[in-house]
A and B are shown apart, each in its own frame.
Chain A
């Protein structure tokens, strides 16, 4: 018995020495990204960040590694692991990582960090935060919803009731009101970013009460909204990534939050030695950080979906037909509104900061 124990200890010790001695290979710029819980395949936020890095890998020749934490207690460990291995840039995705990222950044002042989706009050020199003017993009979504709605009744489905999602809600509300001041506005929160069944129930309830265009900012819950739109033959608006192919012909547009571009730009700034540490960066309608998908053209992600077999030729036709009949007539008006927001002729309120009115 003693022999076995001592052998085990020796074995363990040898393993420790052997693996601790493997040096990290020296390379060009290395980027580590810690995704938010939900991970890859969310068709939205995490996927977009990943796309940005893939593009950087191709165009800038960087290399990157990613981690999908199983729960929030792994965030710190994952971030620290990248920092301690000498990665040049460490990116944390999602508001729940804000605290962990600041803690780790304080321990590794020489490493550059980027945080997606949460501005900090005092930004240390080795952190840059990437934020998006979701309220501006959502304003366009609201305007389009009001323009296409025949019943004068539109709905918003939010993921969780808190300030980040209020930005989407507020922009949408103001945009719809801008086109039609008497529009009826329904809003509900699913209290969950990953519950399509609940999203569908909420959307069906709204449709029952007369809504014929529904916008969501609810992650995976949103796919239930699309399903309801398809079943009841009404229109839906997607969010974050181009989701127009999810329910072909029923998703009239998507509010784009170009996390991929922001991540790519940040990596580029590190490669080109132009890193903007210590700043909260905002990506807006003016610089294309947020946008609404084209009223007339079918976007690249939709074509990709056709290529990899997600949608059929017939479904692509349905999307094209919908674009022609439903959204094309409003292309000029939307372009005009976008111009006005960019030129500050329309002032869109950010409900994430001003707070959400109680009497909605």
Chain B
């Protein structure tokens, strides 16, 4: 019992410190807002209203968080196994592109086959794109950072530059629209489903401006599964052991290669799911620019979330809120450059806090020895 209450206390302190660093970041941000002759209060209330000011805003914040949570997870899991996955961007593109092609290519499948097929195909290809550098690392000791960065470039060339041109049917740089049967459930259409429309609050969702789709819940489920995998299964224990000390793990009878390849495959599949959701839920086709750097933002999300799946969810929500609220700040007259600057400040301060905590922990450990 005491163990648990201690744990809860430390989590609360963590959250409180993160909140504090966000507030510090916003205070520093006021300096830059003054440069533009706007009122910081207007700017920040716009940020708040844009992200949380209404039911619609909250739903859309969740929507913006979805790909960030998933790419954050895709970075966090290999991180626990001692691997730095820079390739979430490429894995996302490959997954999204595959889902987009499956989504429009098969014209007469029923939804209950087409949609899962598109999702699994996208996740599988994303997984391969992540598993390949894992394989190279395990078998030939190719550094995964280099392999994943290179695979990012190949993925961009294969999908955006080459793939779109093969399948495009209009002037728009995108694959054709996916079939209705492959599209993810969008909450704004909730009234079309008799079973769901009877739920309480269902009518709140029925606004055309709500973009939230089911992938947000898939992301949450993915986070829970990864948490279970990492902390409650033998495989997860082995991955963490490899991350802690690969030689030691090997000596202790753990197959390090297996851990590395599995971690990278799963991570690729999760990043692939981010792309799948953007294609099947948000844009309804694979379009140029849909990746929007989510794979790289995912690195920050994972680090802010302390590479813990539940922390990653919170990190993703923070970034999603900043993205959703940032647009509203532009409406209040703050130039987009300042909006980006404030987003970066928040990230900077939250990340700096993590470093500070590591420093504190080290000092405490030293003190313990004396």
Q: Nearest residue in A to B327 (C-beta to C-beta)?
A: A74
| B-binding segment of A15-23, A147-155, A259-267, A316-324 | A15-23
Main secondary structure of the interface of A (DSSP, over half): helix
Per-residue contact bits, chain A 65-84, to B (CB 8 Å; 1 contact, 0 not): 10111111110111011001
Distance (whole angstroms) from the CB of A142 to the closest CB of chain B: 22
The CA-CA distance from A152 to B265 in the complex, in Å, is 54
Whether A96 touches B287, Cβ cut-off 8 Å, given contacts A67-B327, A68-B336, A70-B292, is yes
B37-83 interface with A by 8 A CB criterion: 45, 48-49, 52-54, 60, 64
Q: Nearest residue in A to B343 (C-beta to C-beta)?
A: A70
Cross-chain contact A77 with B209 (CB below 8 angstroms):
yes
Cross-chain contact B173 with A96 (CB below 8 angstroms):
yes
B171 within 8 A of A: yes
Whether A163 touches B171, Cβ cut-off 8 Å, given contacts A68-B330, A72-B287, A77-B327, is yes
Interface centre among B60, B287, B330 (most CB of A within 10 A): B330
Distance (whole angstroms) from the CB of B335 to the closest CB of chain A: 8
* A-B contacts, 14 listed (Cβ < 8 Å): A15-B45, A20-B54, A65-B333, A71-B292, A72-B289, A73-B64, A74-B327, A77-B211, A96-B173, A96-B174, A96-B288, A118-B171, A160-B288, A161-B165
* Across-interface contacts of B171 in A (CB, < 8 A): 95, 118, 162-164, 352
Cross-chain contact B289 with A95 (CB below 8 angstroms):
no
* Across-interface contacts of A73 in B (CB, < 8 A): 64, 211, 278, 282-283, 290, 292
A54 within 8 A of B: no
Q: Nearest residue in A to B64 (C-beta to C-beta)?
A: A73
Whether A16 touches B49, Cβ cut-off 8 Å, given contacts A73-B64, A118-B172, A162-B168, is yes
B252 within 8 A of A: no
B270 within 8 A of A: no
A234 within 8 A of B: no
B200 within 8 A of A: no
Contact count A vs B, C-beta below 8 Å:
92
Cross-chain contact B168 with A15 (CB below 8 angstroms):
no
Q: Nearest residue in A to B336 (C-beta to C-beta)?
A: A68
The CA-CA distance from A73 to B281 in the complex, in Å, is 11
* Residues in B lying within 8 Å of A, measured CB to CB: 45, 48-49, 52-54, 60, 64, 157, 160-161, 165, 168, 171-174, 208-209, 211, 278, 282-285, 287-290, 292-293, 323, 326-327, 330-331, 333, 336, 340
Please classify how large the interface on chain A is, using the bins under 10, 10 to 19, 20 to 34, 35 or more.
35 or more
Q: A15: which of B49, B173, B208, B289 is its contact (CB, 8 Å)?
A: B49
The CA-CA distance from A35 to B331 in the complex, in Å, is 13
Cross-chain contact B161 with A191 (CB below 8 angstroms):
yes
A179 within 8 A of B: no
The CA-CA distance from A164 to B173 in the complex, in Å, is 10
The CA-CA distance from A96 to B161 in the complex, in Å, is 15
Whether A15 touches B53, Cβ cut-off 8 Å, given contacts A65-B331, A95-B171, is yes
Whether A37 touches B289, Cβ cut-off 8 Å, given contacts A20-B54, A72-B283, A162-B171, is yes
